Amino acid sequence: MNQAAAAPPAKAAELPLPSRPVAFLWHYICARPWHFGGLLALIIGAASCAVAVQYGMKLLVDAMAQGSSDRASANVWWPLGLFIGLIVTENLFWRLGGWLGCRTVVASVVDIRVDLFKHLTGHPMRYFTEHFAGSLGNRISALGAAAGSIYGGLAWKIVPPIVDFLGAVVVLFTVGWRMALALIVFVAIVAALITGFGIRGRAKHQRFAAQSARVGGELVDAVSNVWTIKAFSARDREAERLAHEIGYEARAQRRSWMYLEKARVMHDICLSVMAGGMLVWAISLWVDGSVTAGDVVLVSALTFRILHGSRDLALALVDTTQQLGAIDDTLRIIVQPHGLEDPDNQLLLAEGDITFDGVCFSYPDRGAVFDHLDLHIPAGQKVGVVGSSGAGKSTLINLIQRLDDVRDGRILIDGQDIRSVSQDSLREKIAVVPQETALFNRSIRENIRYGRPEASDEEVIQAARSAFCDAFIRELPQGYDTLVGERGVMLSGGQRQRLGIARAFLKDAPILILDEATSALDTHSEAEIQAALNNLVHNRTVVAVAHRLSTLASFDRIIVLRNGRIVEDGAPQELRRQGGEFDSLWRMQAEGFTQQPDVVP
């Protein structure tokens, strides 16, 4: 068994994720300031060139108009060269911006999804009993897509129209300051209307995002339980239930969509009035001789560019509002403060001495499970935990792993309060063999190596041999490289359990927890797995929960729980001689199942 002589290096402190959408997105911009800064510079450069192209067109038109009497002497080549040069530069900036934007936005979305997953897995287990697993997964994917949409929209749909507008104001001052001022006032009014309209609709977008995530969770839940659906002939019933949920989603989507359409109508009316008014104004000035033909072309080109650009801007702003609503809904669910504090201190030593010191614990909205529970398990002792359902057995082993925190008192491992050390360093010292071993849809080799990722192939094979599963693995078509399917469905229950034991062998932790490791198996499989467990428990502190008391006969000590209290504690033979609750449970299993209950006529 591995003995930890020194503390492993402490993990680097991680900054908490912001819980508000704008701060959350800004957090990832700050993570790549040069990338986003370079992208912004390229986009501004490209949009500025696009405005300058319109001015180059004005110069070219004026040169052609001035040389209409003597075309051979007209100075059109310099304006033409400037015009073409600006077009080439604009396209170069756009393409460079597209290349940098692709790398930057995609990388940021990857970081967002990974960070959300890391934060999600830091929640206590009770959090996952309150939320659909499929819904949580869908929320992470949807938030990544929404963030990518906002970053992309900011770069290609929001910044360019703003630069167009600012550039148009500057250029229009060369035509007439009144026209430039009118443009500023009109665009400011339209922007305020559209932005206010979008903010008022955020609640609709949030409801749509929440219902969409719920439907995703319902779908995953139904597909995960497809056997139950078939067994109870419930296909039509489940389809009706799903149709009901999707109907709610569709209604929420229609409200969100139609709100966007109203914003588009408002925008189109305002910008059409502006475009028509600016063009009429420019032609009137040309009739009066106040401006040149090039100025009219310039005003027309800029007006229609602003018209189209502002349409993209308005739609992007409304879409961004919708996406921010979806992000806010997801952050509210996932980026909650973790229910368990996670210090950086590492668990020292690794003997496996466990102490419950005045432990009090209760689940939310339920009565107390433990009330000042005291228990000491010396290092190397093998302890069985028995009791009726609801006595607190599962809670006891969950608290040892710190899957939840005690309300009062403390739990010590080798004299250290487990709340004062990092969760990872604690669980590195604990191996668990649950009632149903959870396997990933990966190869057998990867599933066994999950216990110790740095283990060699030889160590993986040796662990499999110790767990009596090497033989059946080699009979599979691809041996250790065989994929086990989702949650290990390609293997039998006994095979999955032996892989779980192999994983525990490979982890080689000083504390071993067995949670009903043989209760769901047939007699033959149970005998094989019990032999593997007998090898596994040597030289470790073992805490085993079992309903089949025969599996605990060789243990050093048995504790009997009733309503969260220890009512019996001693060696198995001693407890049987006392004739108490343990002896009653033992005799019930040994003799009671062979007696048939009286049949009432």
Above 90 in pLDDT, residue 92?
A: yes
Query: How much is the pLDDT for 198?
Result: 67
The single-letter code of the amino acid at 51 is V
As a whole number, mean pLDDT of residues 190-196 equals 73
Query: How much is the pLDDT for 37?
Result: 92
Query: How much is the pLDDT for 99?
Result: 92
As a whole number, mean pLDDT of residues 43-67 equals 77
541, two tokens:
């502190």
Beta partners for residue 287, in sequence order: none
Q: Which H helix or E strand runs over 29? A: helix 21-31
Give which of 202, 263, 519, 533 is closest to 386, Cα–Cα. Answer: 519
Residue predicted with more confidence, 130 or 410: 410
As a whole number, mean pLDDT of residues 84-96 equals 89
Query: How much is the pLDDT for 531?
Result: 73
- DSSP H helical ranges for 132-234: 133-153, 159-172, 177-200, 202-224, 226-231
The single-letter code of the amino acid at 546 is A
As a whole number, mean pLDDT of residues 313-340 equals 80
pLDDT in tens, 564-599: 888 888 888 888 888 888 888 888 876 655 444 443
Query: How much is the pLDDT for 25?
Result: 92
Core vs surface per residue 555-590: b (16+ CB within 10 A) or e? bbbbbbbeebebebebebeebbeeeebbbebbeeee
Average pLDDT across the chain, whole number: 80
Tokens 């052609």, residue located? 64
pLDDT in tens, 272-326: 787 777 778 777 777 777 777 777 777 777 777 776 777 677 777 777 877 887 8
Above 90 in pLDDT, residue 49?
A: no
298, two tokens:
């310039």
Range of weakest confidence among 99-103, 212-216, 352-356, 414-418: 212-216
Residues 6+ apart with CB under 8 A from 269: none
Query: How much is the pLDDT for 11?
Result: 43
C-alpha span between 558 and 578 (Å, rounded): 13
Q: H/E/C letters for each residue in 79-129? A: HHHHHHHHHHHHHHHHHHHHHHHHHHHHHHHHHHHHHHHHHHHCCCHHHHH
Q: Are 346 and 421 in contact (CB under 8 A)?
A: yes
C-alpha span between 235 and 351 (Å, rounded): 53
C-alpha span between 393 and 534 (Å, rounded): 21
Q: What does pTM read for this prediction? A: 0.68
Query: How much is the pLDDT for 519?
Result: 61
Give which of 377, 370, 404 is closest to 543, Cα–Cα. Answer: 377
As a whole number, mean pLDDT of residues 133-143 equals 80
Query: How much is the pLDDT for 39?
Result: 92
As a whole number, mean pLDDT of residues 529-553 equals 80
Query: What angle do the packed helices 133-153 and 202-224 form, to 10 degrees?
Result: 140
Above 50 in pLDDT, residue 4?
A: no
Q: H/E/C letters for each residue in 222-264? A: HHHCHHHHHHCCCHHHHHHHHHHHHHHHHHHHHHHHHHHHHHH
Percent of the chain at pLDDT exceeding 70? 87
Range of weakest confidence among 96-110, 337-351, 410-424: 337-351
* Three-class secondary structure of residue 8 per DSSP: coil
* Overall fold of domain 21-66+74-334: ABC transporter transmembrane region fold (1.20.1560)
386 phi, psi to nearest 5 deg: -130, 165
The domain segmentation of the chain, as residue ranges, is 21-66+74-334, 354-592
Tokens 């198995």, residue located? 572
Query: How much is the pLDDT for 227?
Result: 63
Query: How much is the pLDDT for 9?
Result: 41
Beta partners for residue 384, in sequence order: 544, 558
pLDDT in tens, 467-510: 888 888 888 888 888 888 776 777 877 788 888 888 888 888 88
Query: What angle do the packed helices 202-224 and 235-287 form, to 10 degrees?
Result: 150
C-alpha span between 191 and 202 (Å, rounded): 17
368, two tokens:
């107390």
Residues 6+ apart with CB under 8 A from 596: none
Give which of 47, 327, 317, 325 is closest to 192, Cα–Cα. Answer: 317
322, two tokens:
């919708």
Q: 354-592 sits in which CATH class?
A: alpha beta
492 phi, psi to nearest 5 deg: -75, 170
383 phi, psi to nearest 5 deg: -120, 130
As a whole number, mean pLDDT of residues 435-458 equals 85
Tokens 């801007």, residue located? 313
Give which of 363, 353, 435 is closest to 404, Cα–Cα. Answer: 363
455, two tokens:
């283990």
Q: Which H helix or E strand runs over 472? A: helix 470-475
